[in-house]
């Protein structure tokens, strides 16, 4: 099953989490990591909404929280337990949070 790991940390404190490259290398060697990427800062984000057929844009994310999605990883593993184990090994899990979400389409 495929899962998306959404990596959230306080971007004002973390520019690059030490150990991410080693984690990516280990997961690639295990054959579970399909893709991993970091995101540019939330100051570069644009949020799009459509209300009453009008496109509304706002700068940045629409979240009132210090933790922002800063990266994502697409993994494929046997089950949720393995996905949780993989997420728990990511260095960012000690600084913020990693949401593990299964993909709808396989």
CA–CA–CA angle 84, 65, 51 (5° rounding): 100
Q: Rounded mean pLDDT of 98-102?
A: 94
CATH superfamily of 2-102: Dimeric alpha+beta barrel (3.30.70.1060)
What is the rounded radius of gyration, in angstroms, for the C-alpha atoms of the chain? 15
pTM, full prediction = 0.82
Of residues 32 and 92, more confidence is placed in: 32
Q: Sketch the domain layout of the chain as residue ranges.
A: 2-102
pLDDT (tens digit, 9 = 90+) per residue, 24-80? 999 999 999 999 998 888 888 888 889 999 998 888 766 666 778 889 999 999 999
What's the confidence (pLDDT) of residue 65? 65
**How far is it, in rounded angstroms, from Cα 78 to Cα 89?**
17
Residue 14 has pLDDT above 80, yes or no: no
Distance separating alpha carbons of residues 48 and 21, to the nearest angstrom: 32
Per the CB < 8 A criterion, the answer to whether 9 and 100 are in contact is: no
């Amino acid at each position: 099953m495929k899962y998306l790991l959404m990596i959230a940390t306080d971007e004002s404190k973390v520019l690059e989490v030490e150990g991410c490259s080693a984690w990516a290398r280990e997961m690639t060697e295990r054959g579970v990591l399909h893709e991993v990427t970091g995101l540019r800062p939330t100051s570069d984000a644009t949020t799009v909404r459509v209300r009453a057929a009008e496109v509304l844009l706002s700068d940045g994310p629409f979240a009132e929280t210090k933790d922002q999605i800063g990266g994502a990883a697409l993994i494929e593993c046997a089950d949720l337990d393995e996905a949780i184990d993989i997420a728990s090994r990511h260095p960012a899990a000690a600084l913020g949070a990693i949401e593990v979400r299964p993909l709808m389409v396989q």
